[in-house]
Amino acid sequence: MANSVYIDGKLVPADQATVSVFDHGLLYGDGVFEGIRVYGGNVFLLAEHVDRLYESARSIRLEIPISNQQMVSAVNETVQANGIDDGYVRLVVTRGSGTLGLDIRKTSNPIVIIIADTITLYPPEIYERGMELVTAGTIRNHPGALNPRIKSLNYLNNILAKIEGTDAGCVEALMLNHNGEVAECTGDNVFIIKDGLIRTPSTEAGILEGITRNTVIDLAREAGHEVQETTLVQEDIYTADECFLTGTAAEVIAVVSLDGRTIGDGTPGPITRDLLARFEALTRGK
């Protein structure tokens, strides 16, 4: 466990890092967050994650009490204080405490929390053999209700789909949008490869615009691949040559079946493996 946690402007021992039961982050899931990786003591794509945090906050009319630059410094300070070399940072900003009721004008003092810790990854055999997925019956939040672009503290939509995945013996689940199109997984973005062409749902599908997704799109294009951000349906995944997921925690991970149907030859494909190697080179200098 982390030994010190940044909360409300200072680093305190982890067991003293507490928030009020009147905090609207707890009462209503009213707040925003980010998950970031640390590789070799460096916080990977910190500026991108901090920018997304401030964008999420803006979308929900939450004013973060410190500047973007102060946030960057606080994250680095917390990582160093915990001696994290390879690990994970969780950044959380809650609406702060208020009276019972939804009115944000009756809350004060948004709380900034930074936890730097180790990370639990998917089991290594899933990276070697590839992941099996099921499609969840729970659809992704309608963008007109709670836009998936906002990384808010209300993750019940994803949790309900994840339960369906774990009930089916899978570690992830595919989520469709309100039009029945492929959106993303509960905590990862999805890509397919067909006839050498890499395709992933566009942000209009109602997804979180993953930072790993964008990094992998850049890596793929640098490697000479064509990448299309487009509409995908389940059938495109069933008939793909390769499929993989991207995410801060997952990095790049092959998917070898969806709903019991084998994708490609049922093993992690060559382009997926190449992109994972390029991602590892970028993050770990391998």
The residue ranges that bind ligand PMP (CB under 6 A) are 35, 158, 184, 187-189, 208, 210-213, 246-248
Q: Please identify, using beta-carbon distances, which residue of 68 and 239 lies nearer to ligand PMP.
A: 68
Q: How many Å is the Cα radius of gyration of the chain? A: 19
Q: Please identify, using beta-carbon distances, which residue of 52 and 98 lies nearer to ligand PMP.
A: 52
Closest Cα partner for 97 from 77, 113, 82, 111?
111
Q: Please identify, using beta-carbon distances, which residue of 52 and 95 lies nearer to ligand PMP.
A: 52
Do residues 242 and 263 make contact, with C-beta atoms less than 8 angstroms apart? yes
Eight-state DSSP code of residue 241 = S
Spatial strand order of the sheet with 87-94 comes to 10-13, 4-7, 111-117, 87-94, 31-39, 42-43
Q: How far is the CB of 88 from ligand PMP (least distance, A)?
A: 11
Do residues 36 and 51 make contact, with C-beta atoms less than 8 angstroms apart? no
Q: Please identify, using beta-carbon distances, which residue of 96 and 143 lies nearer to ligand PMP.
A: 143
Contacts of residue 179, Cβ cutoff 8 Å, sequence gap at least 6: none
Q: How far is the CB of 15 from ligand PMP (least distance, A)?
A: 27
CA 204 to chain centre: 17
Query: Which residues are known to be catalytic?
Result: 151
Rounded distance between C-alpha atoms, residue 30 and residue 85, angstroms: 31
Q: How far is the CB of 50 from ligand PMP (least distance, A)?
A: 12
